[in-house]
Structure 1
Amino acid sequence: MYSLFLHRRKSIELHQCTVLVNLLQNASAFSNSFSSLQDVRKGKTFTVTYLVDSLGLTKKLAESISRKVSFEVKGKPDSVLSLLRSNGFTDSHISSIVTSYPQVLIEDADKSLAPKLKFLKSRGASTSELTEVLSKVPKILRIKKDKAFSVYYDFIKEVIEADKSSKGYKKLCLSSLPQGSKQENKLRNVLALRDLGVPQHLLLPLLISDHQRLSGDVKFKESLKKVVEMGFDPTTPKFVKALRIVQRFSSKAIEDKVSFYVKLGFDVGDVWAMFKKYPPFLNNSEKKISQTVETLKKYGLQEDEILSLFEKFPQYISYSDKKMEKGIETLLGLGFSKADLTMILKRLPQCIGLSPESVKEKTVFLVKEMNWPLEAVVSTPAVLGYSLEKRTVPRCNVLKALMSKGLLGNKLPPVSPVLGVTNEAFLNKYVRKHDDKELVAELMAVFTRKKRQSKSLKGNKSIM
């Protein structure tokens, strides 16, 4: 019996020791994780300060770059900046390079970058040519093989020069690249896009894109043919977006997606019309579409209203549930009813994509400061998208001036003819029509004076 008791006691002690060891290990792991997190934050803080001080970037841009690359010492970045500046790159060039390709800051300046710059100069590249090409498409610096690097560089140079002179460009010989290689296929495909008239600012990013589909052959040709036949304009970003979507999915997958939309109540023609408005809408899964529908139903929208909303503004389908709910709750919190919400969404579907703070600020100004009723915003929800400082406030200042002189009576005119027209139409109706030249000059001064700072409006939580 004593032996059994002793055995149980030893077992308990052993278990306690095991628990203690696990606790110590977990504490150590937590400590290491916390330490690592601190190191990451320290690196990002150092990176932001370095970019602001060394290149004069805004803090916002520097913070954006620090999310892609960070460092805690300035050795490598200093070497990179020194190398670029010694080769004729201005701070403006370097800012463009770092913004597009932040990883350049942690490259080995002597072993990686310097040989490439030396190689290009040995081929006859002038300082002006070098700085222009590399500041436009800096990601070619990550290409390691000289032949591929050389061909890509020549192509970019040709496109830039062709755009400057409005002349054609010469076809580059691709024989220096392995036939059927990723680089050869991509360059050939980009040349095909160039032939169609895709402009430089859309073309060059595709050249250094990591999208594998742009390196295809048969699939690329088939996809390109489909997008052209759909009538997309090659000079617009929608053309490139549509091409990527068609390439991404098989014909069967696209048919299935279209069939799902048909089950929801759309005609096939409606689906392709939405695709032409916003190609990425086909990226959405059946689960995502169903979630969006259910979220909108929760706020009182009927199925036919939801379908109409999607048809007018297919981008809506891609919004996250959190974003939609925040936008809708903002409107309801301002005093709009669910019926008002439905009307606003019908007339301005994209309002949910606007910043909740901006929507709140503009509504508060129109209702609380200008004394228009909430119904005025419901009838003309486009006002929620207008610039407060550049459009709304200057025009409302003119109305205030006219009312103070008794020239408008005591009743405000409707919102639409005040804010929904062009500047020219507004000035003709409320300023220039007066015979009194001094009054016209005074009203013009009110209209064009320094834009009102709207910070005072922020923080107002409710209108009612």
Structure 2
Amino acid sequence: MFGFLCSRQLLPLKHRRTHLGFLQQNGFFIVKSFTSVGSLSESNEKRDEEKKHSFAVSYLINSCGLSTKSAILASQSHLVLFQSPERPDSVLNLFKENGFSNAQISKIVRMHPLILLSDPEKTLLPKIELLRSVGVSSSELITILSSNPFLFKINLKKRFIPSYDFIKSVLLVDEKVLTTLKRSPRAFLSNVTTTMAPNIALLRQLGAPPSTISFLVTNFPSEAFIKHTKFVEAVHQVREMGFDPMKTVFVLAIQVLLKMKKPKLESKLELYKRWGWSKDMALAAFKRSPNCMLSSEEKITKTMDFLVNKIGWPSANIARNPSVITLSLENKIIPRCSVVQILLAKGLVKNNLGVGTFLRPTERIFLEKFVIKFQDDVPELLNVYQGKMSSGCRISV
């Protein structure tokens, strides 16, 4: 024991962090020092990882067009580590061969860095080929995938194909399915059997016709794919308000409630009450045009102020035509009101002209009925409509 203590005291400082091995010869302990194999292994692994980080960061910057900050974040948080360019090069080449620009490729990698480690032939190409096979054009395909690269993660057999087939069973035609896909590609990341399927079953149970269900899926796929418990809650609220499941406005109201929390809806109703609407008027307006509740409070205030205070329209008139609140104030409401102001001042249209009569029609119909028709009498109408002149008039109702 004495020999061991003396030997340990005589060890140089540099050996204090080494492990000690002992051999017994002739009754004495002989000290044998050796460096830890584990320490060497950990040190080598650390150096290898640093090399991978350095190479990956350099590659992301030089080959993928990422900023230094984005490249560092990608290599750290997403563990996109590689020491050779073969696999990422093959991924980039696949994108280039299929028409993706450098900017689009950079966007894909920035959003989904792990895609660089994918197998191009087994993982990426089959998704591209499937989208083409169902009618997605090359330009549409590039737009969809560059904006939603997480679609590349979907399992074709377990997720994408079942979702596509179910949606087609609801919409019947590929064109509508493609519209749904283009409007909400991320919806296809959901499990159709636990989201959309029970939601559609509930609507059918309530008597909603295929046209109404098709309208929901095509125009609001994100809401159609939403968690079933949330969908049930929105349906319950809509039914309590008296909406008819047989009408399209029923699903319009559902999607509004799914986009808004109840306190926000109540806040909008209170705002309309400050403009003279009673609770019944506000509810009736919501039932006529549910989307009028989706406009921001600032948008509602500006539109109501213009129509009520500047144009002189009664607030009750707007409540009967609430869809006008969703229209662009600068691009539609003001130009059309400017034209009608002139026509009213010259007695060319009736004074009891309803606000919806000229704000709701399509561009072509408005031009035909209120501009072209009176161009001989008022040559400046088109210029007024295009904002090149001010009408300087006020509508009186």
TM-score (norm 1): 0.53
Query: Which one of the candidate residues 156, 181, 201 is aligned to 2:95?
Result: 156
Take 2:312 and 2:347, find their aligned partners in 1: how far apart are those partners? 17
Take 1:250 and 1:234, find their aligned partners in 2: how far apart are those partners? 17
Which SS does the other structure have where 2:332 is aligned?
Answer: helix
CA-to-aligned-CA distance 1:255-277 (integer Å, 9 cap, x gap):
544444456x2458455653344
Provide closer, same or farther for how the CA distance between residues 227 and 378 of structure 1 changes in structure 2, counting only shifts above 3 A.
same
Deviates more, 1:382-391 or 1:326-335: 326-335
Q: Does 1:369 align with 2:310?
A: yes
Take 1:390 and 1:296, find their aligned partners in 2: how far apart are those partners? 32
CA-to-aligned-CA distance 1:78-117 (integer Å, 9 cap, x gap):
xxxxxxxxxxxxxxxxxxxxxxxxxxxxxx9975444456
CA offset at residue 425 of structure 1?
Answer: 4.0
CA offset at residue 183 of structure 1?
Answer: 8.4
Provide closer, same or farther for how the CA distance between residues 261 and 402 of structure 1 changes in structure 2, counting only shifts above 3 A.
closer
CA offset at residue 353 of structure 1?
Answer: 1.3
Q: Which residue of 1 aligns with 2:131?
A: 193
What is the identity, as a one-letter code, of the residue corresponding to 1:191?
Answer: E
> Once the two structures are aligned, what percentage of the paired residues are identical?
21
Take 1:239 and 1:286, find their aligned partners in 2: how far apart are those partners? 20
Provide closer, same or farther for how the CA distance between residues 235 and 159 of structure 1 changes in structure 2, counting only shifts above 3 A.
farther
Matches within 5 A, 1:370-449: 370-405=311-346, 411-434=351-374, 440-449=378-387
Take 2:329 and 2:60, find their aligned partners in 1: how far apart are those partners? 49
Provide closer, same or farther for how the CA distance between residues 445 and 192 of structure 1 changes in structure 2, counting only shifts above 3 A.
closer
CA contact (8 A) 1:238 1:279 kept: yes
CA-to-aligned-CA distance 1:122-181 (integer Å, 9 cap, x gap):
xxxxxxxx87xx89xx99x8654433322221122122279xxxxxxxxxxxxxx99x96
Provide closer, same or farther for how the CA distance between residues 193 and 184 of structure 1 changes in structure 2, counting only shifts above 3 A.
same
Take 2:389 and 2:325, find their aligned partners in 1: how far apart are those partners? 18
Provide closer, same or farther for how the CA distance between residues 241 and 398 of structure 1 changes in structure 2, counting only shifts above 3 A.
closer
Provide closer, same or farther for how the CA distance between residues 186 and 451 of structure 1 changes in structure 2, counting only shifts above 3 A.
farther
Take 2:286 and 2:269, find their aligned partners in 1: how far apart are those partners? 10
Query: Which one of the candidate residues 160, 164, 167 is aligned to 1:220?
Result: 160
CA-to-aligned-CA distance 1:283-322 (integer Å, 9 cap, x gap):
434543454356557xx82264798643345422422323
CA offset at residue 344 of structure 1?
Answer: 2.2
CA offset at residue 335 of structure 1?
Answer: 1.7
What is the identity, as a one-letter code, of the residue corresponding to 1:150?
Answer: D
Provide closer, same or farther for how the CA distance between residues 161 and 407 of structure 1 changes in structure 2, counting only shifts above 3 A.
closer
Structure 1 unaligned spans of 5+ = 1-107, 121-129, 163-176, 453-464
CA contact (8 A) 1:194 1:203 kept: no
TM-score (norm 2): 0.61
CA contact (8 A) 1:383 1:420 kept: yes
Provide closer, same or farther for how the CA distance between residues 205 and 423 of structure 1 changes in structure 2, counting only shifts above 3 A.
closer
Q: Does 1:330 align with 2:285?
A: no
Take 2:214 and 2:359, find their aligned partners in 1: how far apart are those partners? 34
Provide closer, same or farther for how the CA distance between residues 233 and 451 of structure 1 changes in structure 2, counting only shifts above 3 A.
farther
CA-to-aligned-CA distance 1:27-69 (integer Å, 9 cap, x gap):
xxxxxxxxxxxxxxxxxxxxxxxxxxxxxxxxxxxxxxxxxxx
Which SS does the other structure have where 2:173 is aligned?
Answer: coil
Structure 2 unaligned spans of 5+ = 1-51, 102-115, 391-397
Matches within 5 A, 1:142-153: 144-145=81-82, 146-153=85-92
CA-to-aligned-CA distance 1:347-370 (integer Å, 9 cap, x gap):
322221111221222122222222
Q: Does 1:354 align with 2:272?
A: no
Take 2:120 and 2:94, find their aligned partners in 1: how far apart are those partners? 16
Number of residues of Structure 1 aligned to a counterpart in Structure 2: 308
CA-to-aligned-CA distance 1:186-245 (integer Å, 9 cap, x gap):
442233223333321013334x32x68514544434334444554343894522567754
Which SS does the other structure have where 1:233 is aligned?
Answer: helix
Provide closer, same or farther for how the CA distance between residues 233 and 367 of structure 1 changes in structure 2, counting only shifts above 3 A.
same
Q: Does 1:203 align with 2:203?
A: no
CA offset at residue 282 of structure 1?
Answer: 3.5
Take 2:300 and 2:224, find their aligned partners in 1: how far apart are those partners? 29
Deviates more, 1:388-397 or 1:217-226: 217-226
CA contact (8 A) 1:345 1:351 kept: yes
What is the identity, as a one-letter code, of the residue corresponding to 1:205?
Answer: S
Which SS does the other structure have where 1:160 is aligned?
Answer: coil
CA contact (8 A) 1:185 1:216 kept: no
Which SS does the other structure have where 2:309 is aligned?
Answer: helix
Deviates more, 1:185-194 or 1:443-452: 443-452
Matches within 5 A, 1:68-83: none
What is the identity, as a one-letter code, of the residue corresponding to 2:337?
Answer: C
Query: Which one of the candidate residues 255, 261, 265 is aligned to 1:315?
Result: 255
Take 1:237 and 1:345, find their aligned partners in 2: how far apart are those partners? 27
CA contact (8 A) 1:434 1:440 kept: yes
